[in-house]
Structure 1
Amino acid sequence: MLRTSLNNPDEFTFTYELVAGRGCCGRQIEQLLEFACAAKADGRIKALSVTDNPGGSASLAPVAIGEELLKLGIEPLIHFSLKDKNRSQIVSHIYLYQRLGLRSLLVMGGDFPNSGYCGQARPVFDVDSIQTLQLMREMESGQQPGGCVLSREQPQLRLFKGCVVSPFKATEAEQVWQYVNLLRKVRAGADFIVSQLGFDLRRFEELMLFLQREQIRLPVLANVFIPSLATARAMAAGKVPGVLLAQELTAQMEQEAAAGHSRARLDRAAAMLVRLKRMGCQGVHLGGSALRFEEVSYVLDRFAQWEQASELPDVVCDFSVQNTWSFFCRRENGELTETPLQPGCKSGRAQLPAFSQHLLFSRQTWISKLFGRFCRFCAKGERRATALTLLERTVKRLLFQCRMCGDCTLSHSAFLCPQSGCPKRLTNGPCGGSRFGFCEVHPSRRCFWVRVYECLAPQTTLRSLANQPHLPPKDWALEKTSAWINFFSK
């Protein structure tokens, strides 16, 4: 089992990512299953992960491949993507996976949907990965959504829940938010961690140092992707959300292709595996561009050969993207120390709204108490409620581009509205798709949560952000109603 392997300190775990394409059958699906049969016979790969609409394009649901893998006798690791599921569908899928025996789930937000039938699909993102992990943990403890009681014959829910983090972000704001959300995911019930794919070993080391600093002992699977030259070029050009690839690596691969060194990328991956094991990773999550099992087996053979050697072979496997921010900096004596954070470069923007928030909504000032009485008075009459809602809509649309969700979270995002500012409408922090501080969905716009970071108080720390309680999912029954009335009616 993947759980047993990852929690065994004497074992280095290998998993591999299968990418299901469009259609329910055909040569591509046959190749995936042939790969799975070979992996089962080989025995070194403990689980095969199955993607869920990768790149935002509709493809075969992961449960289909997951069932096939169970029949073959190898454990599936199902990607549990949230971009296409509301909270009811999430609960339904959890029940489905429990019935089928699919216990290992990798929880992630997922890529923004691409254009499909009759144009652009509407993204869901009803809940984020933190809220989903919390939901799963509550269901494991016996609590059911909506307070319903299941019959005693229902077996106890038991999941192995993974979360994702990217240590490869280019700017301070992006990287701090990644670690903030990692701490929240761990508290929400994650059982293991999988990194975003990257090629900068220094950043893998930073992730392990960060976990050590925070005394987090969850097993870590480092994501090692083996790109083809075409895929590397696409990554370097920013065509894969959230992925940074150094131009030096692309140039190296072009030289290797010209010289006919077809196995150079495999040797580079094997050298990365050895380095990652020595850093303290509990395993590696492998992936690649149309790799055959024979190539993956070659990588594992090389790893087994080189991990026993006192010195690594002369294979360059560390490619850093230039001009990026690092969480740790190295002093002249070689000692690593934390880089001082510099949030709040535009903190003055939030001072007046924050003062108004305290004055009107703290429930402590006499003005707040008086305003609360006024809101409750308006709520008792339809015309008064309509007039107050119109006033709120006018004020907040002018100041905050408000969408009138009725469940306002402005004070948790430096008085920037995630409903209008973030394409995924995330209320607890960013996704992993930003690149050099710019949005995954609208590359010409700066990431909403980068802008939030710039508006925080200058004394804000990573730990103070992580210690803020994460917001629950929005109650969409309140949409288009007055958040002022709803706040004082609780």
Structure 2
Amino acid sequence: MSMLRQALQEQRFVCVVEFIPKPSAERFASFERLMQRSQLCGWPMIAAIADRVSSNFDPAPSDAFSQLARPLPTLLHFSGKDRERHDLLAQLERMDALGLDQLLLLSGDRLPGHEPGQKSVRYLESVPALQIVRSARPAWLLGAALNPFKYHEEEGGAQYFKAEKKLAAGADFLTLQLGFDAQKHLEAHQWVQQQASPVPLLACVMQLTLSRAAILEHVPGLVISPLMRDLLAAEEAISSAYARERSLTRLGLQIIGLRLMGYAGIHLSGIHDPEQLHALEQVIEARMADIQTLEQWSVAWEASWQLSGQPVVTFQPPHADWQLGMSHVSATRKEQLRYHVLSGLHSLLFSHTNSLSRGFGWILKRPLWHTPPGRRWLHQLERSLKRPVVGCDTCGNCRLEDTLYICPETCPKGLANGPCGGTRLNRCEFGDRECIHSIKYRTAKAIGQTRVLTDRLIPCVDADSRYQSSWPRWFEPPSEGAQSEKSSSNDAPEEA
């Protein structure tokens, strides 16, 4: 049994140490020296090898593992950016050869150079990736990400809706994206505990300095509030040594707090050598002697973010303070009308229950549409009709019924099951639009169809089905498995 699986099963707090591989022998050697300690405060340490965080040309996680001088307990990452199903299956084969069987599946941040409207970049999102791996390797330990650091209802609610899908798709544990808001850490942990089958929850942590804050402010989905930044600048103005000491103390306190909240462990980033790890361990052990309860910890945590002459630090963006359980938003009349019109048209043409639908199906079953010219003409017709209305990219397997008639292809990453972690106050990571999943959330609430956003696990669109008409598929006899899946996902509308 792997060390991570055993620790999670035994409810032992665990420290997962992130390694971002670079083509540098010294970087690998430094990480191996760090991991020789094997424990932080008695907690087992497991390596986590990230996937193309800095560059698309970073060594692949499996290649990086092969370059280590000795095997380590390791959790590999798989980022879906610029990836298809076959890329994921190829990584599984490489992991088999290396004797690895635990994987963290992420949709991935924006690929450098990916600009909307130019050449499309495919992102294999985490929900179908989980389904693929769970089917291919049923016994593996699989993780996924959750970003609870959201301060508008639509983006926050949609995050939790997608997390439900990740659990249903086979995630054994969830890892939070990096954040510093303790109320959001509590919120996420409480949400997990309320699920029918709670899973272990880890939290990503990092020592936050002023220089790092300047970088992290531009990381999609990561929140550094103006008051946080002002405090870090005030500490740095006193002295660099003082600022480093305070930031290390906050990291140690955050780890203590997460343990007291009931987290299964931490995903530690930004620690690169044994000396840094030793200094962190000293802080944790010193503060743990005085902090035994969450109430004691809250006092210490708040004090660590206070400085004479500085205002009280808050962690949310200005004028945004949504918390899970608050519900105020609703779709506009235009958004609701759009849904009802498109839903009505879909029923008329594809329901199989009226004469127009049956007639349309009869036409599409004609041999003409199985010829190359017929397929091309039908593809062009569907694209010309649907693209101006919904942004259709004729993916060959239309998912509009499962996405409330908001086309996933209008998301720059093509995500169908819910948002990535990169939104900020409902804005897409790419910055040029509102996140389509925020619109879906509002629409689902208004029409009483939120179960569509939690229960329907939408498979990825494979490359060989793209750029052809999806219409004939609606009238093909479904397989037994597809019928079962469809019937289980088509729940009756719930109350808004």
TM-score range, shorter chain: 0.7 to 0.9
* Cα offset, 1:39, TM superposition: 4.4
- 1:409 aligns with 399
* Cα offset, 1:395, TM superposition: 1.4
1:454 to 1:409, Cα distance in 2 relative to 1, 3 A = same
Q: 2:75 aligns with which of 68, 74, 77?
A: 77
- 1:4 aligns with 6
Q: Equivalent residue of 1:458, what SS?
A: helix
- 1:135 aligns with 132
Q: What are the within-5 Å matches in structure 2 for residues 312-351 of structure 1? A: 312=297, 313=300, 314-316=303-305, 319-322=314-317, 323-328=319-324, 338-340=325-327, 342-345=329-332, 346-351=335-340
* Cα offset, 1:347, TM superposition: 1.6
For 1:340 and 1:388, the matched residues in 2 are separated by 43
Paired residue total = 451
Q: 1:286 aligns with which of 265, 268, 276?
A: 268
- 1:219 aligns with 200
For 1:475 and 1:110, the matched residues in 2 are separated by 18
- 1:146 aligns with none
TM-score, with structure 2 as normaliser = 0.84
- 2:66 aligns with 67
Q: 1:356 aligns with which of 332, 341, 345?
A: 345
| Contact 2:152–2:321 under 8 Å retained in 1 | yes
* Alignment of 1:19 onto 2:20: yes
1:140 to 1:64, Cα distance in 2 relative to 1, 3 A = closer
| Contact 1:176–1:462 under 8 Å retained in 2 | no
| Contact 1:5–1:46 under 8 Å retained in 2 | no
Q: Which runs of 5+ in 2 are unaligned?
A: 307-312, 478-496
Q: 2:245 aligns with which of 244, 260, 263?
A: 263
Q: Equivalent residue of 1:54, what SS?
A: coil
Aligned-pair Cα RMSD in Å: 2.6
* Alignment of 1:296 onto 2:277: yes
* Cα offset, 1:361, TM superposition: 0.8
- 1:58 aligns with 57
Q: Equivalent residue of 1:394, what SS?
A: helix
Q: 1:196 aligns with which of 165, 173, 177?
A: 177
Deviations 1:410-436 (A, max 9, x none): 2222323222x1111112112111122
Q: 2:105 aligns with which of 89, 104, 107?
A: 107
* Alignment of 1:371 onto 2:360: yes
For 1:453 and 1:231, the matched residues in 2 are separated by 33
Q: Equivalent residue of 2:88, what SS?
A: helix
* Alignment of 1:49 onto 2:51: no
| Contact 1:266–1:295 under 8 Å retained in 2 | no
* Alignment of 1:275 onto 2:257: yes
Instruction: Give the letter aligned to residue 321 of structure 1.
Output: Q
Instruction: Give the letter aligned to residue 103 of structure 2.
Output: L
1:353 to 1:115, Cα distance in 2 relative to 1, 3 A = closer
Among all aligned residue pairs of Structure 1 and Structure 2, give the percentage whose two residues are the same amino acid. 26
Instruction: Give the letter aligned to residue 19 of structure 1.
Output: I
1:121 to 1:96, Cα distance in 2 relative to 1, 3 A = farther
Deviations 1:275-317 (A, max 9, x none): 21121111111112x6433222322332233334243444239
| Contact 1:113–1:121 under 8 Å retained in 2 | no
* Cα offset, 1:453, TM superposition: 2.7
1:121 to 1:161, Cα distance in 2 relative to 1, 3 A = farther
1:41 to 1:438, Cα distance in 2 relative to 1, 3 A = closer
| Contact 1:164–1:194 under 8 Å retained in 2 | yes
Deviations 1:3-32 (A, max 9, x none): 1112223x22112111222x2x34333322
TM-score, with structure 1 as normaliser = 0.85
1:395 to 1:463, Cα distance in 2 relative to 1, 3 A = closer
| Contact 1:47–1:75 under 8 Å retained in 2 | yes
- 2:480 aligns with none
For 2:447 and 2:120, the matched residues in 1 are separated by 38
Q: Equivalent residue of 2:444, what SS?
A: coil
* Cα offset, 1:196, TM superposition: 0.6
